[in-house]
Structure 1
């Protein structure tokens, strides 16, 4: 079975590189290679010494250890380096989702989280975001695999401490298999690193990356965390896909993880400032109804006035102002816009000004 068109990625491909103000992407606006090298404290001489053979299929030991260090109790042998989080998800679902399985996830969702299980013959159980961050909601859901995407894309919601603890306790008690998709751990609402539910000994798998949070999506580095037996199957499956990640990408990724404390606070401050700016001005934007500032991550969910096509609104906004936003219909939920907060601060301010003054969108 073939998956449907990837609505989100198709629109991003058409607009993201042309936009004056890019509020449609879910990652931080990109840095230049020389800026990235400075962030990772890498010299050109360091790169010149990289052997251009294949990296180990599972990923270099040093990089896997740096990733394992992000998770309590996880070892390097429980980490598989992948070509972006997309490959990690693809591998996980092909191994963990048999035909006719039930997969529960927070709705709306990033399309890959439900489209791949659907392609594999699974039934998806959509848990609405307005109830999904209460542990009691999940106690009433019967599934073979639970997907917990937090901070959530597209709403920016996450769990309170008490609800989180209750949720983890429930999953452990009931011996549930859970995939924690934690792409935005590096951008929590407060603090330096967000919570994780990943715990291989309880079949709590994890997928993640730093590339969106660090402004280096072009590195295409992600990972899967799981117990060794599951990871062995995923590693073998990976031989049929990308096989290995570029040794250049792995070397830069390692340095960025090792140096993150030196640059991540500035990124976090920038994102939080953009969120605060948007939260202060969204009521002045034409035909908008409600917005709740995200509790973590890089994206938020802006509600439009009733009856407005999100795609028409987004198209006209881009045509008239150069401001790119992602229509909710790309998440199969009408009446909303997903707003990304990774743009440069000066462009964010100018983009909001243009948007506010554009009163003929409808």
Structure 2
């Protein structure tokens, strides 16, 4: 039985209903509103040559072969498919101690623990702690691995805190996981978030692609802001991609229109990414200044991040989120990310909209004091 994913059920419909949205983390501000067939930023851009495929474009970005890439209907599908591929080889006995172990970061994104539980895995957690500003610690991962370990799932940037893990820490983590006979899944949808692009990464962010026993997932949703296309991918060694492709027949496929628009986006990615980095710079500065100036908020806004996990002193996460919602402000309760005392703030809209939303949230906090 697949457990319900409470966060996704809770957030459904709220961004559209909110007067001020501090819950959506994708950089959606420059996407044309309404039901238009072509997102505004793509309308006047050129298409690539007809012989250039989307999987070739993604592969080129990661420095791998197209045989290492599998396109999916969004990153969520890529994550589900990655987990299904890893766990497909194993059965789920009734004894929890003998079930395949999936190790997931804490605090963390709820689907990464709910989905493997639905596949019958034993889901354990390892900590990313505020004392280290939620950085990924390979030694914590290694110490939490069991003999039955099959998969370790992490996000980079870390969702919900925005902490960014560099290539060296990813390499150390991958080595520990591989030595234990398991695979590392790195959800990299937030990795490109930053103001200074990485020279050896993918889309300007660090990547774990190419490391042994690693599968990375990504999409055009978060940083590019093209969530309506539902275009994602996974990158892994060819044998894993072949197994995943077979399992993928059980899941939704990409629409041809989405593939065509994604090809256009990646053909013009330098210009699009530069615009999004400016967006990140403005919204990061707004969020960092807001948190720093508020004596009633405790938390770190990591460099280059437009979202953060913060603890209000005027109430727990649920109380603050409920009070904000009553005033038309959407913030996400931290309990969905294993942090009930906190809320996650995300600035995805224009700088003007984000500034107005922060002002409105500041009024909510003042009223709660």
2:27 equivalent in structure 1: 28
1:232 equivalent in structure 2: 242
Cα separation, 2, equivalents of 1:141 and 1:352: 39
What TM-score do you get using the length of structure 1 for normalisation?
A: 0.86
How many aligned positions are there? Answer: 341
Q: Conserved in 1, the CA contact under 8 Å of 2:72 and 2:232?
A: yes
Residues 1:263 and 2:272 are matched in the alignment: yes
Cα separation, 1, equivalents of 2:197 and 2:363: 36
Q: Conserved in 2, the CA contact under 8 Å of 1:28 and 1:342?
A: yes
1:196 equivalent in structure 2: 207
Range that drifts further, 160-169 or 180-189: 160-169
Shift of 1:298: 4.1
Q: Conserved in 1, the CA contact under 8 Å of 2:332 and 2:344?
A: yes
Q: Conserved in 1, the CA contact under 8 Å of 2:280 and 2:304?
A: no
Cα separation, 2, equivalents of 1:274 and 1:330: 23
In the alignment, structure 2 segments of 5+ residues that lack a partner are 33-37, 93-98, 199-203
Residues 1:280 and 2:310 are matched in the alignment: no
Q: Conserved in 1, the CA contact under 8 Å of 2:167 and 2:208?
A: no
Shift of 1:232: 2.1
CA RMSD after TM alignment: 2.6
Cα separation, 1, equivalents of 2:329 and 2:295: 14
1:312 equivalent in structure 2: 319
Matches for 1:155-304 after TM superposition, within 5 Å: 155-160=161-166, 163-171=169-177, 176-188=182-194, 190-191=196-197, 193-199=204-210, 202-242=212-252, 244-285=253-294, 287-288=296-297, 290-304=298-312
In the alignment, structure 1 segments of 5+ residues that lack a partner are 51-59
1:327 equivalent in structure 2: 333
1:145 equivalent in structure 2: 151
Q: Conserved in 1, the CA contact under 8 Å of 2:2 and 2:114?
A: no
What TM-score do you get using the length of structure 2 for normalisation?
A: 0.84
Cα separation, 1, equivalents of 2:266 and 2:191: 13
Cα separation, 2, equivalents of 1:181 and 1:300: 17
2:201 equivalent in structure 1: none
1:361 equivalent in structure 2: 368
Describe the SS at the equivalent of 2:301.
Answer: coil
